[in-house]
Amino acid sequence: MKILVVCQHYYPEPFRITDICEELVRLGHQVTVVTGTPNYPEGITYKGYEKGKKKYEVLNGVEIHRCYEIARKKGILFRFLNYYSFALSSKRFCKKLSGDYDVVFANQLSPIMMVDGAVAYKKKYDKKLFMYVMDLWPASLKAGGIKETSIIYKYYKKVSNKIYNSADVLAVTSKSFIPYLKNNFNIDDSKMVYMPQYAENLFNPEYCKKEPDDFIDLMFAGNVGKAQNVESIINSANALKDNEKLRFHIVGDGVSLENCKNLANSYGLTNVIFHGRKPVDEMPKYYKMADAMLVTLTKDEFSKLTLPGKVQSYMASGKPIIASIDGEGQGVLKEANAGFVVNAQDDALTNAIDTFSKLSSEEIKVLGENSLNFCKENFSKDKFIENLEKLFTE
Residue 12, pLDDT score: 92
190 and 257 inside one domain: no
**pLDDT score of 207 more than 90:** no
Q: How many domains does the chain have?
A: 2
Residues 325 and 214 in one domain: yes
Handedness of CA 70, 275, 354, 260 (dihedral sign): negative
171 and 142 together in one domain: yes
What pLDDT is attached to residue 178?
A: 95
Whole-structure pTM value: 0.84
Q: Is the pLDDT of residue 192 over 90?
A: yes
CB 317 within 8 A of CB 335: no
> Could you tell me if 145 and 259 lie in one domain?
no
User: Model confidence at 141, in pLDDT bands (50, 70, 90)?
Assistant: confident
Regarding predicted confidence, which is higher, 178 or 204?
A: 178
Residues 87 and 140 in one domain: yes
pLDDT over threshold 80, residue 144: no
List pLDDT tens digits, range 94-118.
Answer: 999 999 999 999 999 999 999 999 9
**Averaged pLDDT for residues 284-313:** 90
What is the torsional sign of CA 200, 22, 4, 195?
A: negative
Q: What do you get for the CA distance between the two ends of the chain, in Å?
A: 12
The pLDDT, as a whole number, for residue 112 is: 95
d(CA 17, CA 216): 33
> How high is the pLDDT of residue 215?
94
Is the domain of 389 the same as that of 373?
no
pLDDT score at 136: 92
What is the pLDDT at residue 225?
86
Q: What is the pLDDT of residues 43-94, one digit of tens each?
A: 889 999 998 899 999 999 999 999 999 998 887 888 889 899 999 999 999 9
pLDDT of residue 72: 86
Same domain, 138 and 19: yes
Distance CA(119)–CA(127), nearest Å, equals 9
- The answer to whether the beta carbons of residues 109 and 135 sit under 8 Å apart is yes
Mean pLDDT over 302-328 rounds to 91
- pLDDT, position 385: 94
Across 159-172, average pLDDT? 96
DSSP 19-47: HHHHHHHHTT-EEEEEE----TTTTSPPT
56-59 and 62-66 beta bridge pairing: antiparallel
Domain of residue 84 covers 2-198+380-393
Same structural domain, 234 and 354: yes
Whether the predicted pLDDT of 342 surpasses 90 = yes
Question: Which segments within the chain are labelled E, that is strand?
Answer: 2-6, 30-35, 56-59, 62-66, 103-108, 128-133, 169-172, 192-194, 216-221, 246-251, 272-276, 292-296, 321-324, 339-342
Q: How far apart are CA 25 and CA 20, in angstroms?
A: 9
Confidence at residue 372, expressed as pLDDT on a 0 to 100 scale: 94
Examine the domain organization and report whether 103 and 129 are in the same domain: yes
Beta bridge partners of 3: 31, 103
Closest CA to 108 of 92, 76, 86, 89: 86
- Domain check: are 156 and 81 in the same one? yes
Q: What secondary structure, in 3-state letters, does 162-209 show?
A: HHHCCCCEEEECCCCHHHHHHHHHCCCHHHEEECCCCCCCCCCHHHHC
Q: What is the pLDDT of residue 305?
A: 86
Question: The domain that contains 249 carries what CATH number?
Answer: 3.40.50.2000
CA dihedral 29, 35, 38, 44 (to 10 degrees): -170
**pLDDT at residue 30 greater than cutoff 80:** yes
161-165, 192-196, 223-227, 334-338: segment of lowest average pLDDT:
223-227
Cα–Cα distance between 259 and 250 in angstroms, integer?
13
Q: What is the pLDDT of residue 168?
A: 95
Say yes or no to pLDDT of 143 above 80: no
Q: 248 or 207, which is more confident?
A: 248
In this predicted structure, the answer to whether residue 200 has a pLDDT above a threshold of 90 is no
Is the pLDDT confidence value at 369 over 90?
A: yes
User: Do 209 and 357 fall within a single domain?
Assistant: yes
Mean model confidence pLDDT for the chain:
93
- Assess whether 161 and 258 both reside in one domain: no
pLDDT the model gives residue 196: 92
